[in-house]
Structure 1
Amino acid sequence: MRNLMLTLAAAGTLLLSACDPSRVYEQNVELPEKSWTVDNAPVFEFAITDTTKRYNVYFNVRYSLAYDYYNLYLQHRLTAPDSSLVSSTLTELHLMDAKTGKPEGKGSSDIYDMQSLALKEIAFPQVGTYRLQLTQYMRRDPLPNILSVGVRVEEAGN
């Protein structure tokens, strides 16, 4: 029964994603043992074919309410097809309201998904495959109760 539910959920996700014309790329990576170690820095590769358009880049985080902090610091490194650096920034994501503790994002029970705009209306100067690496930048290693992280790239203005 559980496998059937997972299969139906995956099929539903595929159907919904097919109806999203602004999305260029979206990928999430599950973290082992529901913890994010500093040395586990997922790399997301996506193709850009139109350099005249502007794009929005989002960071996706799935977390448990057992997460000990209200925020999450991420360091990203975005490189162009020729390996030149496009962007590198430390970003603070607010997973919970600092005063009330109310979780941000969508979820139920104790698991929440949050999508945060990280790069707004960015221009990609070259056609080809870009690489975006995410590293957790908290003082705790491993960082428990972060279940997965990901990246979404979409055309801006849609």
Structure 2
Amino acid sequence: MAFKISGIVLASILFLMGCDSSRLYEEYRGMDSGSWNLTDTVTFVVPKPLPDSKTLLAIKYNNEYEFRNLYLTYFLKDSLNQTIESQLIEIPLFDSKSGKPLGKGYGNTFTKFDTISINSSEVFSSIQMVQYMRTDQLKGIESLGLKILKNSY
């Protein structure tokens, strides 16, 4: 009996240690075909206002990706779906000198996190992303993720 209770207490402690109190929002969207079509828009709906936060973009990619970097445009939308901010950003995925993949991963799949500098002081309710690589099918992009964290001062 004491063994069961200590096991439950240990499991509860490990569960609570795994919780990230700084994370306000996190979601991932997979690409159905393993590629990002030029006409595809990836949308994340943020459930509550997040005025003071840090936004991270996660890109899961594999060795089929043909370029060194990824250009994408994000659009911040308000509750009426009006664009309040948009910006073209560049995210390096491979080292320019060695050609090694950036980010963490194993095998031929890697995930690269990059901070999105959101300039708007307005609260947004969704963020939309489109690839801007000027190719119809951007092979090797498996998924995109959005993580919003509390700003720590």
The separation in 1 between residues aligned to 2:16 and 2:39, in whole angstroms, is: 33
Question: Which residue of structure 1 lines up, in the alignment, with residue 122 of structure 2?
Answer: 125
Are 1:55 and 1:123, in contact at CA under 8 Å, matched by a contact in 2? no
Superposed counterparts of 1:26-65, under 5 Å: 26-49=26-49, 51=51, 54-65=52-63
1-side partners of 2:122 and 2:98: how far apart? Answer: 42
1:103-151 CA-to-partner distances (Å, cap 9, x unmatched) read 111001100011110126x66534xx61100100002111001001121
Q: Partner residue of 1:20? A: 20
- Give 5+ residue unaligned stretches, structure 2: 1-14
**1:152 maps to what in 2?**
147
Q: What is the alpha-carbon distance in structure 2 between the residues aligned to residue 16 and residue 146 of structure 1?
A: 33
* Amino acid of the structure 2 residue aligned with 1:34: G
Distance 2:44 2:17 in 1: 18
Change (3 A) 1:86 1:56: farther
Q: Return the TM-score normalized by structure 1.
A: 0.78
Contact 1:24/1:154 (CA < 8 Å) preserved in 2?
yes
Please give the per-residue CA displacement for 1:70-111, whole angstroms capped at 9, x wherever unaligned. 100010000122444332000100001111111111001100
CA displacement at 1:22 relative to structure 2: 1.2
When residues 46 and 16 of structure 1 are mapped into structure 2, their CA distance, relative to the original with a 3 A threshold, is: farther
Structure 2 counterpart of 1:148, one-letter code: S
Q: Structure 1 runs of 4+ off > 6 angstroms?
A: none
Cα distance in structure 2, aligned partners of 1:105 and 1:42: 21
- Listed as ranges, the gaps of 5+ residues in structure 1 are 1-14
- 1:111 — aligned with what? 109
In structure 1, the partner of 2:136 is: 141
Supply the AA of the counterpart residue of 1:154.
Answer: L
* Structure 2 CA distance for partners of 1:55 and 1:107, relative to 1, 3 Å: same
Query: What is the aligned partner in structure 1 of residue 9 from structure 2?
Result: none
RMSD (CA atoms):
2.2
Kindly tell me the number of residue pairs found equivalent between the two proteins: 139
**TM-score scaled to structure 2, two decimals?**
0.81
